[in-house]
Each structure stands twice: as structure tokens, then as C-alpha cells.
Chain A
Amino acid sequence: MTEANQKTPLHALHVELGARMSPFAGYDMPIQYRSGVLAEHLHTRKAVGLFDVSHMGQALIQGGDHATVASFLESLCPADLLDLRPGRQRYTQLLNQSGGIVDDLMVTRPAGAEGALRLVVNASRKEVDFALIRQRLPFGVRLTLLPEAALIALQGPLAASTLARLAPGEAVETMAFMSARAAQIAGFETFVSRSGYTGEDGYEISIASAQAESFARILLDQPDVAPIGLGARDSLRLEAGLCLYGHELDETIDPIESALSWSIQKRRRVEGGFPGAERIQGALAIGPVRRRVGVLPDGRAPAREGAEIVSSDGAQIGVVTSGGFGPSVNGPIAMGYVARVHAAVGTPINLMVRGKPLSARVVTLPFHPHAYYRS
């Protein structure tokens, strides 16, 4: 476990901005600012939200050439990383020997740095992840943690115009979705990716910790930019149908059950060669036993994590893994796992809330349409 209540480089700024701070994954993090979760969520959907995600783990894996480093990571993850082009990014999972998810992460191949892959992993899992990677490192491949780098996400429909204003000549507004590169923004050296976890267009910006606060202040001084806490980050990702480790994902769940098969490219499906390949290839062939689905309650009452999902005849068929209120949906939303026979869109189900069954339906994810940049 991580030491309790570590601070990110933006901690003092959060406090100054009136954030309600709370422990999260070993860090003292802003849950919300003065305007509250609802307003912060809606602001991100219509303007720009600034999120401190410096608690996440950033690292570099380096070796002689791309094939060496990519092959190594392919021995732990099911994505096609050999095929990852310079400057591009992929979402994948670290797997255990039975194909369960140790963590989900972003892998970037920086252009102009042969034999390097950048990783961004979950805060709550970074020690487990890095220990696992280090244990498997072959001769000539090394893992370097980047604890002196902060990570700031800028998300929302005005993120591109906001960043472009601060980085004239860098053409950040035409960067492809899931691409990444070094860029000078407001005079600071940064490493920027066009990605995020809100369902909106936006960026994640890695910057030296010592410069993070000055940089964040410049971003916050821009019109339309507001600081957003972890409360709204959670409701945004839930509306976007995105998994959160420890909720939708854990070491017992594989990427097929969790409806992440899109993140396993064709060559890997055929060739295997990742931990738990047999289980995952089997699930791809015949379908998983249980499946992650979107759940839309018919009424107004939210169903929270842990709520049992029961069939119309009262048998338990699954469980809610994330549930709450979707501010943009303006109603309750949830995700959970159900037995495959109940996973079809439109299936009526019941959610047990305070001992009473509430009617709901299996629905398509996301709840709120993604607005990623398409060039």
C-alpha cells in the first residue's frame, strides 16, 4: 500500500481554490470545489475542466529498439504494441496468469525516442503494476518511474481552442485522438496526449512537478476553464461508460467480460502470447459467462455499487459495480455485471435498493455520447 495522504504538486492550489479534500488511493485529493459535483460535471461537458491526475503512475519502459520493448510489454498486455506507430497511444490491461486484470493503462510510443514506451497507470495500482513489470523485465529492458512529473487533464469541447491559444504554432488542436507528443505550452516543456477519461475531447498533459502549479494557474486563468474534482471525474466517466479499476475491473475479471475486447487487436487474438490467453481466446470464441453492461433504472432512484441485480423471477443474476446520478443524463445510471443470457440490450432487470426491487433495463453504453476529436 501507498503511504497515506501523499500530496500532488497541485495540493496547495486545490486548498486555495476551496476544494473539499479527501483521501483517494493514498493521496489527499480534491473531491469537489465550491461549485459542487453537478456544476463541475456540466461545466466539463460544455466548456473546459481542469483535473489534477498527478496521483496516477507515470513511467517509461526502455530498451534497445521498439520491437524489444513492445514484445516485452506484449507478454503482459493483450494489445498489439508492436504495431503501435510513433506518436500513438493505446489503451490496454496488465493481466495476471489467469487473464484477470491487474490494472488498465495507457501505453504511448513517443516519436523520436526509439525503444521507449510511456505508461500511465492507476494511482491505486501503481506499486502492484511496477512490481509486476520489474519482476518480468528481460535483460536490456528497464523501467523508470517518473515521480517528478505531474499530470493535468484538460477536458471538454473548448479544451482544444484553450490549449491552442497557449501554444501557438504547436497545432495541438489538430492532434489525432490517442496521439501524443512533446509540446511547448505557455512556455513550458510538456508531453501532451489527446485523450482523457470523461468522454469529451481533451488532453492529458505531463509536466515537471516543480512547474505544475504555475502551469495550472495559467490554464485556470483562461476563460471557460474551471477546476474539477474527482466527484465529477467519476460521474463523467460513468456517463461515458468507462471502467474504473476496483469497480468494473479487478483481478477476477478478464477483458472480454468487461467488454474491452475492442482493445485487443486481431493479431493478438489469433496469436495469444499474453497471460491468460487461453481463457480470453475462449471467451472471445464462445462468449463470456458474465458481461459488463449499462443499466438504466426506470425511476429516479439511483442504485449504488454493490446493489444486487435480479431477474424478473427474483434470482440474482449480477451486481452493480458503479451507480449514481448522471448529471448530463439527468437521471440515475449504473454499470454492472450480469450473466450473459441477461446481457442483451433491452433486457428488463431489477435492482435491489434498500430491500426493494427497482425496475431497470440493460442499455447500450455510453449513456452520454462520446465527443472525441475526429480529424
Chain B
Amino acid sequence: MPEIRYSKDHEYIRVDSGEGVVGITDYAQQQLGDVVFAEMPPVGKALKKGDPAAVVESVKAASDVFTPASGEILAVNSEVESTPGIINEDALGRGWLFRIKLADAGELTALMDEAAYADFLKTLA
């Protein structure tokens, strides 16, 4: 069963069989507005939890996306590179950014689950 975890920087990671798919949350895409550009990490790059991994840019501003878990980049979403607006349409689905091979599954326990993230969002309102 895949499980989904959230960071305080509004990244999500959907974990299945030692791999994670990372993107920005629906809240993050709403805050950012229309995404017009996304820059992805190179495949094969090893990142530590919290490292800047990707950049998503709206008309107005650029935002770093930090990897919520350490590991090696296995793949990036080329559809987002060519059509960044799908992050706004479907942030948790087709708008994923990169797939990472988890170096330490134990890191995930520090991230929020769905309910905790929903509570966290309430504190920002």
C-alpha cells in the first residue's frame, strides 16, 4: 500500500516499495499561483533530506522544492517540464516532480501524515 507523507515546506512524498514520488501539495500550488516553469534535478543525483531539489516558478516568483527524504533521483516528470501548468491542475497526481530511491525509510516518520498535515494547514489560515 502506498502511503503519503507531507513536509512543513508543503512537499509530499508518496512512498511505495522503497521509492518515493515527490511533488508540491495542493496548498502549495494554490499559494504559488499559475506555474510557468519547473526545473528538475538531474537523474542520478544523490540528495540529502532538506536539500533544494527542484524549482517551480509562477509568473511572479520562484520557489525551491526541498526533498523531504534523502536518496538518489531515479526519474523526473518530463510532462511537468513541458507543461508546468499541470502542477496547478493535479499537484498530487500528474503534477509530480521526481522519483527518489529512499536512502533511509526511517526519515519518513518525521514527516506528517494526511491528518497531521490537514491540522498544520489550519494553523496557517
A-B CB contacts (within 8 Å), total count: 42
**Contact in complex: B58, A37 (CB < 8 Å):** yes
**Contact in complex: A231, B39 (CB < 8 Å):** no
Report A-chain residues with C-beta under 8 Å of the C-beta of B36: 38, 302, 325
Q: Which of A232-269 contact B (CB under 8 A)?
A: 232, 234-235
Bound Cα distance from A354 to B55, whole angstroms = 10
Chain A residue nearest in CB terms to B61? A304
| A-side interface mostly | mixed
Asked if A41 is at the interface (CB within 8 A of a chain B CB), the reply is yes
Chain B residue nearest in CB terms to A231? B60
B86 to chain A, nearest CB (A): 14
Bound Cα distance from A234 to B59, whole angstroms = 10
B26 to chain A, nearest CB (A): 15
**Contact in complex: B37, A332 (CB < 8 Å):** yes
**Contact in complex: B62, A38 (CB < 8 Å):** no
Bound Cα distance from A5 to B58, whole angstroms = 25
Bound Cα distance from A354 to B41, whole angstroms = 13
Chain A residue nearest in CB terms to B81? A300
**Contact in complex: A36, B55 (CB < 8 Å):** no
Chain A residue nearest in CB terms to B31? A20
Bound Cα distance from A127 to B45, whole angstroms = 52
Bound Cα distance from A38 to B34, whole angstroms = 6
Report A-chain residues with C-beta under 8 Å of the C-beta of B89: none
Asked if B72 is at the interface (CB within 8 A of a chain A CB), the reply is no
**Contact in complex: A231, B37 (CB < 8 Å):** no
**Contact in complex: B59, A301 (CB < 8 Å):** no
Report B-chain residues with C-beta under 8 Å of the C-beta of A39: 34
B34 to chain A, nearest CB (A): 4
**Contact in complex: A38, B37 (CB < 8 Å):** no
Chain B residue nearest in CB terms to A230? B60
**Contact in complex: B55, A325 (CB < 8 Å):** no
Asked if A122 is at the interface (CB within 8 A of a chain B CB), the reply is no
* Residue from A32, A232, A325 within 8 A of B57 (CB atoms): A325
Report A-chain residues with C-beta under 8 Å of the C-beta of B34: 36-39
Q: Which of B53-72 contact A (CB under 8 A)?
A: 55, 57-62
**Contact in complex: B37, A41 (CB < 8 Å):** no
Known: A301-B37, A301-B39. A327 touches B59 (CB 8 A): yes
Q: 7 A–B contact pairs at CB < 8 A?
A: A36-B33, A231-B33, A234-B60, A304-B62, A324-B60, A325-B57, A332-B37
> Which residues of A does B touch, CB under 8 Å?
31-32, 36-39, 41, 231-232, 234-235, 300-302, 304, 324-325, 327, 332, 354
Known: A38-B59, A301-B57, A332-B37. 8 other contacts (CB 8 A): A36-B33, A37-B60, A38-B33, A235-B59, A300-B37, A301-B37, A302-B37, A304-B61
